[in-house]
Copies of this chain bind each other. A is one copy, B any other.
Amino acid sequence: MTSKPSGMVDHLNAEQWGKLSPLMMHHGHFAPGDIVSHRGDLLDHSLLLLDGLVARKVPRGQRARSTVVALQFPGEFVDLHAFPLKKLDHDVVSLTGTSVARIAHDDLHHLLNGDVELARKLWLMTLVDASIHRHWVMRNSAMRALARVANFLCEYDARMTAAYAGERDSLPFSLRQSDIADATGLTSVHVSRTLRDLREHGCCSVSGGQLAIHDRAGLHKMGMFDAAYLYMPQSGTAL
C-alpha cells in the first residue's frame, strides 16, 4: 500500500486516493541518470513520483546537451500524459535516486470508467503541468539570466515545500548547475556566475546538496515570482 504523498496529489481527496493507491502495488527505483522512458516508447503504465527528482528532456543531436522541458517533484505523476497520448515526445530521466509507484493503464482505464470525478482530477493535474510549461516558456523567453534563475529557484522552493509539507530555509537540492542550465536555457558557466550574484545579493546559496534561502522575499522579488500558475491545491482561490 502506497501512503499518500503531499504535493500535486493533494488535488485528490482521501476517497479518490483510496481508489487509486491500490492500483499502485509495484514500486520501482531509479539511479541518477537512468532513463525512465524513451521518447517514442509505447507506454502501458504511468509512474507517480514518491521521492527524488525527474526531468523531461528533449534530446538535441549527439553533441549538444538535451533541454530540460519539465521537472517533476514528489507527489506528481511523471508521465500521466502517456495515458491518453500513449507515446511521449520526450525522454523521462531520473536526476537523483528516485522511487516511484507504478500504475497500469489498463487498471487506470477501468477505474476512470467508473469515476468521472477522479478522471477529471487527473485531467486537472496534467493541466497544471501545462500551466507550468507556459510559465517556463515565459521565463526562458522573457526574463534575463538573474531573474530567470531566481524564478527557477522560487519554483523549486514552492514545489519542494508542497512536496514535503513545511517551509524551510534550507532544502535538499541535488541538481547540478548544468541541470539548471539545461532547464533555464543558459550555459552552466553562466549559471555559476548567476548563482554567485544571487549569493552576493544575500538571496540564497547552493552548496553541499542544499539550497539555503537567506531572504525569501528578496528572492521572490528578484525572480518576479508569483505562485499562481502552480495552482496549488491548498492555496484555493489564488488565481
Contacts and interface: CB of A to CB of B under 8 A. Distances in A.
Interface in A51-107: 56, 58, 60, 64, 67, 69-70, 81, 84-85, 87-90
Given A141-B67, A141-B184, A239-B39, A229 B89 contact: yes
Contacts of A130: 81, 126-127, 129-130, 133
A225 interface: no
A70 B141 CA distance: 12
B135 A136 contact: no
A40 interface: yes
Interface in A184-239: 184-185, 228-229, 231, 239
A113 B52 CA distance: 36
A171 interface: no
A60 B89 CA distance: 30
A32 B56 CA distance: 36
The interface centre, meaning the residue of A87, A127, A134, A140 with most chain B CB atoms within 10 A of its CB, is A134
A70 B112 CA distance: 30
Nearest to A231: B85
A135 B89 contact: yes
Given A85-B128, A90-B134, A137-B140, 15 more contacts: A58-B134, A60-B138, A67-B141, A67-B142, A69-B134, A81-B131, A84-B124, A85-B131, A87-B239, A89-B135, A119-B119, A130-B133, A133-B136, A141-B184, A141-B185
11 contacts: A58-B135, A58-B138, A64-B142, A67-B137, A67-B141, A70-B137, A84-B124, A85-B231, A87-B239, A119-B123, A133-B136
Interface of A: 39-40, 56, 58, 60, 64, 67, 69-70, 81, 84-85, 87-90, 112-113, 116, 119-120, 123-124, 126-131, 133-138, 140-142, 184-185, 228-229, 231, 239
- The 8 lowest CB-CB distance pairs between A and B, nearest first, are A141-B185, A133-B133, A130-B130, A84-B124, A87-B239, A69-B134, A140-B141, A89-B229
